[in-house]
A and B are shown apart, each in its own frame.
Chain A
Amino acid sequence: MDSFANRRHIIRFIIILIGLIFTIKLFILQVVDSSYKLTASSNVLRYVTQFPARGLIYDRNGELLVYNEATYDLMVVPNQLMPFDTTEFCQILNLKKEYVQEAIKRARKFSIYNSSVFLKQVSSRTYANLQEKLYKYPGFYVQARTLRKYPSDIGAHLLGYVGEVNEKIIEKDDYYKSGDYIGISGIEQSYEEYIRGKKGVNVYLVDVHNRIKGTYANGRLDKQAVVGSNIISTIDADLQAYGEKLMKNKIGSIVAIEPSSGEILAIVSTPSYNPELLVGRKRTENYVDLMSDSLKPLFNRALMAQYPPGSTFKVINALIGLQEKVLFPYTKYDCEGAYYAGRLRVGCHFHKTPLNLIESIQMSCNTYYCNVFRSILDNRKYPSIRESFDLWREYVMSFGFGTYLNSDFSNELKGLVPTKQTYDKIYGERGWRSLTLISMAIGQGELGTTPLQMANMTAAIANRGFYYIPHSVKEIEGDHVLDNRFFEKQYTKIDSNYFELAIEGMDLAVNGEAGTGSTARTAQISNITVCGKTGTAENPHGEDHSIFIAFAPKEKPEIAIAVYIENGGFGGTWAAPTAKLMIEEYLNDSISVPWWEEYILNAEINYNNAEKD
């Protein structure tokens, strides 16, 4: 018994009703409403993307670092092309006929209905000439773009560069279309989302003569482009420029941080390149040249070069020893010019003996730290070296070593702090002892740290126990806020009171009386108490690398700095005076002893034989 058969009428009624609604709507859309109609078949719509200008980048004091310059892309829509006078066309644009044929063929292959770039980055002058005659060339039109310009040639690595998006990016992110630009490195990349703004689109009616007749549908379909946000960097342009000047003819890196905020004041990696090289039509060519340069100017040493920290690391071992209560301010160790254990010998230099803790930092005694390091690892409190080593590693990592600092640079490396497994693999699980690891007592061996990490460690010492994650941007204009992580204190695992002892040692290392064995007297500034520590990274390929870390002033630090000069030998020779000059430039805005500046500027350190590395 089918008692609901009548319901079929309702269903039929619904279907008829839908048919009716569709018919009415279609009638209105297609017959009544004329706004959708394009009467003459020659009329076509042209969608012109409005590319917003990228945001500008300023330094911390409002000095302009990057701005934009107008340029024009000549676009072509193949199916709107008409035969034209190629000779005149080539003359205006200064092109060869073959290029025209080749480019049209390429555009045709991409799409015959959609526009594609015919000629990139036409100058304003050429554009002015072309504009008057464009009506003779249906199918061509001009699209405004911008190019990056740099008032001074500093900060290439920091600012990064802009390039065309590749297939991979287009596939991953809907926003980008072929031919769009995107930040590829540095701030341009990290803050792309803000700097790029938002593309818009204008819809025009175009007649057979290639002339725009007006906006389509009263601009109802147009979307206004949104200009990119300006970025205020943490960089001090003067300091950055000075750092790059000092590092000319040297390979290495300088990173300076404001300890009270984690803001990067200068970040230098040399050899560098002029940022203008990676802009415009010559970009690809120049890029290939830079890539093949044996000095690797594109390589950002500040973030990516991993060196052993050398003797600067003694400060860290001292702090760990104090925290673990295996080292005390009064602890003294003898040094007879070397540390001996069985057949093992770690050499030291000549100085008075025995030394206490502060003196050990001041004079950078290797023997002292072999003893400290062993007392940490052979601490009876822990069942075996496996536990004490893990603990030591945790302390080290709390300074930001062996891990990504999580800065706003996308290409920072995490460096190297070995694990138990590293040694298990080489020596077997029971095959290694504190003596096996002894080179790490003085910051050599398996340790790898980047200049950024070293500057960050210095900031943590300057702050007596914590740091802010280093970052290169201070402010994004508009309603944007920086990530919260840049405002949170990152604590080391060392109590703040222990830092005073280490800092005392670093003070004496720089400011100790002549003849007392202070290792960094080359970093002295007459009216500022600089605290510093020299280091030398062993380099199996050639001359050792010169390292210096410092902060100043001692009591209320405003700058923490790490300087690496490859093949510069002992840290006190080149790195310390360079750091001194940087600190003086930043705090005093002038150099008290110009002789030092000359000394550094004239130095050309192993620059031309670096290929031997």
Chain B
Amino acid sequence: MQRRINIWSSIDWLTVTIYLVLVFLGWINIYAAVYNEDHQSILDFSQRYGKQLIWISAALVIAFIVFVIDINFYSYFAYIFYGILIVVLIGVLIFGKEIHGARSWYELGNIRIQPAEFAKIATALALARYLTSYNLQINTVKSYVRIAAIILIPSVLILMQNDTGSALVYFAFIFVLYREGISESIILLGLFVIILFILALVIDTLIIILLSIGVVFIIFWFLNRKIKHTGIAFIVLLFASSAIYGLNEVLNAGLSYYYILLISLGISGLVYIILAISYKIKNVALLLIFLIGSIAFTYSVDYVFNNFLEQHQQKRINVVLGLESDPYGVEYNVNQSKIAIGSGGLTGKGFLRGTQTKFDFVPEQSTDFIFCTIGEEWGFLGTLFVVLLFIFFLYRLIGLAERQRSSFSRIYGYGVVSVFLFHIVINIGMTIGLVPVIGIPLPFFSYGGSSLWAFTILLFIFLRLDASRLELLQ
């Protein structure tokens, strides 16, 4: 049964108000960031704040259009949107304009559009559509593969544009999957892969192999709860490695520790399998596969890093991981950013009174580092207000998502939450030195039409779904 209701009265005005406040705060901080005695008119369209005013007006029109479109439109065309965005993402690799080393922009006359911003919306829709397919079992290999494809295809395409930040956003959809019941072990496995990836670049392979072995022993004990089995397994490995080590010394074969360890692992692995079969111990094969997988993964990360990445890409990753210093680049920006925010003190220097942010010391002042301006001019009270507002905004969105009767709306709602959460955490986190510098915009604050429009569409589709929540059945 469907009831027609007035969508204007059922729209969540609280969220709309937060949206408007955020956009307004964003704009006045862009004004402050590029403020300059020579250009004081707020309507100076040669300046960024003038342009942003145009983007904001357009965003409001877009929000209105998004809101009046029929509700079924979004779920019905979810896959088609997704398909179109994939084509557009491939297109930008070929026809795109390269700016600051990233080939991720379409240039239409004076306007530049960054399709990666919009791909998030299409992915959130497609994911919601897929997860609401008839009779879907989420915890099956088939589903995993399809979900991974939906999320990773746009991510990889964006990575190829050299826009690492926007590509990483897609990992945020893990929250959606978590909420929708994906197995915890998959989440843990995912976390393990990420940690392994970072470790593979940071520390010696030998230590990683040892750590992986440790992890596997712990899981084995955890699954079987038999200290005896774990002990025997450990002794087998110890025995095998001492034997190989001894042989190596006696024969003077000159094997490196890697090989000694790998060979003893191979031998112990055979012993484990024999023991597992004769005593009917579970999970052994699975754990061995896991271990081999981890080792192979570690080696391939190293190999890909050294053989496929270009020097500047290697350098970027090394800087992010703190293995290499780059005084004129990333490191410098973070220092500048922290100085700007720190110099704001409790109450800030006052609107337009910032000095650090106006010296252009922090590049990308009005885009990725806009939070510095807030910190410097409005102080701790200002940043606290913005952080709380964002937290409240996310909290509110979860509330809205949970009150949906249709799974599609709820899942999409969590997609929206995930994307915003990731952007907020990474952007603010990098300006205060908590996370590595990954260039992605702060929603509604950062200068730029593409990101503002994309965030607006992302949010208002959800508000549209929410406004009609009573029309939709489960």
Q: Which residues of A contact B (CB under 8 A)?
A: 2-5, 7-8, 10-12, 15-16, 18-19, 21-23, 25-27, 29-31, 33, 35-38, 41, 44-45, 47, 79, 108, 111-114, 174-175, 201, 221, 223
- Lowest 7 CB-CB distances: which A-B pairs, in order? A36-B342, A19-B391, A30-B380, A4-B181, A223-B327, A113-B359, A26-B383
Stretch at the interface among B224-232, B343-351, B448-456: B343-351
CB–CB B379/A30 < 8 A = yes
Measured CA separation A18–B435 after assembly (Å): 12
Measured CA separation A31–B344 after assembly (Å): 9
- A31 CB contact (under 8 Å) in B346, B355, B398: B346
Measured CA separation A608–B171 after assembly (Å): 76
CB–CB A12/B398 < 8 A = yes
Measured CA separation A14–B173 after assembly (Å): 15
Interface residues of B in 156-198 (CB under 8 A from A): 175, 178-181
Mask, B317-341, CB within 8 Å of A = 1, is 0000000000111001001001101
Residues of chain B with a CB closer than 8 A to A44's CB: 355
20 contacts between A and B (CB under 8 A): A3-B181, A7-B179, A11-B398, A15-B421, A16-B395, A18-B425, A19-B388, A21-B434, A22-B432, A26-B341, A26-B387, A29-B375, A30-B345, A31-B346, A36-B338, A36-B339, A108-B38, A113-B359, A201-B327, A221-B332
Mask, B382-416, CB within 8 Å of A = 1, is 01100110110011001000100001000000100
Residues of chain A with a CB closer than 8 A to B175's CB: 11
Residues of chain A with a CB closer than 8 A to B345's CB: 30-31, 37
A42 (CB) vs chain B CBs: closest residue: B355
Residues of chain B with a CB closer than 8 A to A26's CB: 341, 375, 380, 383-384, 387, 432
CB–CB A29/B328 < 8 A = no
Residues of chain B with a CB closer than 8 A to A41's CB: 349, 353, 355
Measured CA separation A12–B421 after assembly (Å): 11
Measured CA separation A41–B407 after assembly (Å): 55
Mask, B427-446, CB within 8 Å of A = 1, is 01100101000000000000
- A29 CB contact (under 8 Å) in B37, B342, B359: B342
Residues of chain B with a CB closer than 8 A to A112's CB: 36-38
| B358 CB-CB contact with A under 8 Å | yes
CB–CB A12/B383 < 8 A = no
Residues of chain B with a CB closer than 8 A to A10's CB: 178
CB–CB A30/B344 < 8 A = yes
CB–CB A47/B398 < 8 A = no
Sample of 7 more A-B contacts, CB < 8 Å, known A11-B414, A15-B394, A30-B383:
A22-B428, A26-B375, A30-B379, A37-B342, A112-B37, A113-B358, A114-B359
- A19 CB contact (under 8 Å) in B344, B361, B387: B387
Q: Given that A22-B429, A111-B360, A174-B328 are contacting pairs, would A38 and B343 also be in contact in the complex, using a CB cutoff of 8 Å?
A: yes
Residues of chain B with a CB closer than 8 A to A23's CB: 384, 387-388
Measured CA separation A4–B398 after assembly (Å): 14
Residues of chain B with a CB closer than 8 A to A29's CB: 338, 341-342, 375, 432
B421 (CB) vs chain A CBs: closest residue: A15
Measured CA separation A431–B198 after assembly (Å): 68
- B375 CB contact (under 8 Å) in A5, A8, A30, A221: A30
CB–CB A16/B391 < 8 A = yes
Q: Which residues of B contact A (CB under 8 A)?
A: 36-38, 175, 178-181, 327-329, 332, 335, 338-339, 341-346, 349, 353, 355-356, 358-361, 375, 379-380, 383-384, 387-388, 390-391, 394-395, 398, 402, 407, 414, 417, 421, 425, 428-429, 432, 434
Q: Given that A26-B432, A41-B353, A44-B355 are contacting pairs, would A221 and B335 also be in contact in the complex, using a CB cutoff of 8 Å?
A: yes
Nearest Cβ on chain A to B453's Cβ, whole angstroms: 25
Nearest Cβ on chain A to B94's Cβ, whole angstroms: 23
Measured CA separation A85–B430 after assembly (Å): 46
- B343 CB contact (under 8 Å) in A2, A25, A36, A221: A36
Measured CA separation A37–B338 after assembly (Å): 10
- B346 CB contact (under 8 Å) in A18, A21, A30, A33: A30
Residues of chain A with a CB closer than 8 A to B360's CB: 111, 113-114
Measured CA separation A29–B371 after assembly (Å): 14
CB–CB B402/A5 < 8 A = yes
A4 (CB) vs chain B CBs: closest residue: B181
Residue of B344, B349, B390 with most partner-chain A CB within 10 A = B344
Residues of chain B with a CB closer than 8 A to A201's CB: 327
Q: Given that A36-B343, A113-B360 are contacting pairs, would A27 and B421 also be in contact in the complex, using a CB cutoff of 8 Å?
A: no
Measured CA separation A10–B181 after assembly (Å): 13
Nearest Cβ on chain A to B123's Cβ, whole angstroms: 19
Residues of chain A with a CB closer than 8 A to B432's CB: 22, 25-26, 29
Nearest Cβ on chain B to A200's Cβ, whole angstroms: 8
CB–CB B343/A37 < 8 A = yes
- A15 CB contact (under 8 Å) in B329, B353, B380, B391: B391
Residues of chain A with a CB closer than 8 A to B181's CB: 3-4, 7
Nearest Cβ on chain A to B394's Cβ, whole angstroms: 5
Measured CA separation A321–B39 after assembly (Å): 78
Q: Given that A4-B179, A5-B402, A12-B395 are contacting pairs, would A22 and B387 also be in contact in the complex, using a CB cutoff of 8 Å?
A: yes
CB–CB A11/B179 < 8 A = yes
A223 (CB) vs chain B CBs: closest residue: B327
Nearest Cβ on chain A to B187's Cβ, whole angstroms: 11
Residue of A2, A44, A114 with most partner-chain B CB within 10 A = A2
Nearest Cβ on chain B to A221's Cβ, whole angstroms: 6
Nearest Cβ on chain A to B349's Cβ, whole angstroms: 7
CB–CB A7/B178 < 8 A = yes
Measured CA separation A10–B332 after assembly (Å): 36
